[in-house]
Amino acid sequence: MSETFKKDAITLNEESLGVIDSKKTAESLSARALKRSGGQIRMEGFFKKMLILMGLIMVILVFGILITLIVESMPSIKVLGMRYLWGRTWDPVQDIYGAFPFLLGTLLTSFLALIISIPFSISVAIFLGEYFPKGWFSSFLKNTVELIAAVPSVIYGFWGLAVLVPIVRTFQSKIGVPPLGVGIFTASLILAVMIIPYAASLGRSVIQMVPSSLKEGAYALGATRWEVIRSVIIPYTKSGLFAGILLSLGRALGETMAVTMVIGNTSHLPTSIFSPGNTMASVIANEFTEADNPIYLSALIELGLVLFLVTTVVNMIGKKVIGRFTNE
C-alpha cells in the first residue's frame, strides 16, 4: 500500500515537476504576451498623440497663414498706413499704392453677381425643395447644378473670353457704351453662373426642413401654393437662405482666374459697371510675380490679407447662421 502510495507520490511528483515545467513555459509565454501588449500600449499612446498632433497641425496651418500674411504685409502697413485702403491711384512705377479701385472692383463684381444669381439660385432651391423634391427629374437638375461648381474656374474664364465677351460687346454697342467686351459687367455674369450652386444647394436643404405641419396648416386655411411659399416657407427659412447667399458671396469675393481673364485688368477707378477694372484677387494674380520692389510686393500681400479676413468673416457668419438654423 505504502509503496504504491510512494510510487504514486513519485509519479505525482514527476507529474507536478512536469506541471511546474509547463507553468514555466506559460509564465514565459505570458511574459512575452505582456511585453507585446506593452508594445501595443506604447503604440496606442503614440497613435493617440499623433492624432492630437494632426489636430494641432490644422490649427497651426491656419494661424500660420494669417501670421505669414501679416508679417509679409508689415512693410506696406507701416509705410502706407490706412491711406492704403482709401487711396484712389495705384501706380507702382511712381510708388503710389492706393487699393480703393480694387476694393471697389471686388465689391462691384461680387454684389452684381449676387444680384444676378439670387433669382436663379432661389428658384432652384424652391424647385428642388418644394415643387419636386423627389424623382429622376429633380435629381438630374440637382446633379447638374452641382456640376456647375465642379467646372474649373480657368475654363469659365476661357469660355467667357471666347463666347461671352463678343456677346457683351454687341450688347454694349447697341446701348451706346464703348464696346470693350471685357469689364466688370462681363466678370459679374461669369461669377453669377459660378456661384449659383452654393446658395442653391444650401437653400434646398433648408427648404426641405420646413415642418410639413406648418405647410399643411396654411393649405387648410385655403392658401395657394405660392402663398404657402411666400408666407410660410420663405419666412421660416429666411436665415438659412441668407446663409447660403453669404457662402455664395464668400466664393465670389475670392474667385480669381475667371475674373482675371475677363475683367480687363486696369488699375483705374471704374466709372461704370461696363468699364474695365480689377479685383483684389485679379491684381494679385497679375502683378505678384512682377513686383520688384519690397513695398510693391507687400502692398499686394496686404490685399491678400484683406481678402483673407473678409472672406473668413463672411464665411464664418454664414456658418454661424446655418448652425443656429439647424439647431432650432
Query: Minimum distance from CB of 169 to other proteins (Å)?
Result: 17
Query: Minimum distance from CB of 48 to other proteins (Å)?
Result: 6
Per CB under 8 A, 221 contacts other proteins: no
Residues 1-30 that bind other proteins (CB under 8 A): none
Residues 254-293 that bind other proteins (CB under 8 A): 254-257, 261, 281, 284-285, 288-289
Q: Are 157 and 258 in contact (CB under 8 A)?
A: yes
Residue of 11, 13, 312, 326 that binds other proteins (CB under 8 A): 312
In the complex with other proteins, the residue whose CB is nearer, 152 or 211, is 152
Q: Are 79 and 218 in contact (CB under 8 A)?
A: no
The DSSP code sequence of 36-99 is HHHHHHHHHHHHHHHHHHHHHHHHHHHHHHHHHHHHHHHHHHHHHTTHHHH---EEGGGTEE--
Q: Are 278 and 263 in contact (CB under 8 A)?
A: yes
The DSSP code sequence of 261-299 is HHSB---SPP-STTS-B--HHHHHHHHGGG--SHHHHHH
Query: Minimum distance from CB of 6 to other proteins (Å)?
Result: 46
Residues 181-200 that bind other proteins (CB under 8 A): 193, 196, 200
DSSP reduced 3-state for 223: coil
Residues 72-91 that bind other proteins (CB under 8 A): 72
Residues in binding contact with other proteins, number by CB under 8 A: 84
Residue of 92, 244, 250, 277 that binds other proteins (CB under 8 A): 250
Per CB under 8 A, 245 contacts other proteins: no
Residues 132-161 that bind other proteins (CB under 8 A): 141, 143-148, 150-159, 161
Per CB under 8 A, 171 contacts other proteins: no
In the complex with other proteins, the residue whose CB is nearer, 20 or 220, is 220
The C-alpha cell that represents 161 in the structure block? 473670353
In the complex with other proteins, the residue whose CB is nearer, 128 or 184, is 128
Give the burial string for 237-251 (b: 16+ CB within 10 Å, else e): beebbbbbbbbbbbb
Q: What angle do CA 16, 19, 20 make, to 5 degrees?
A: 90
Per CB under 8 A, 240 contacts other proteins: no
- Phi, psi dihedrals of residue 179, rounded to the nearest 5°: -80, 80
Residues 37-66 that bind other proteins (CB under 8 A): 37, 40-41, 43-44, 46-48, 50-52, 54-59, 61-65
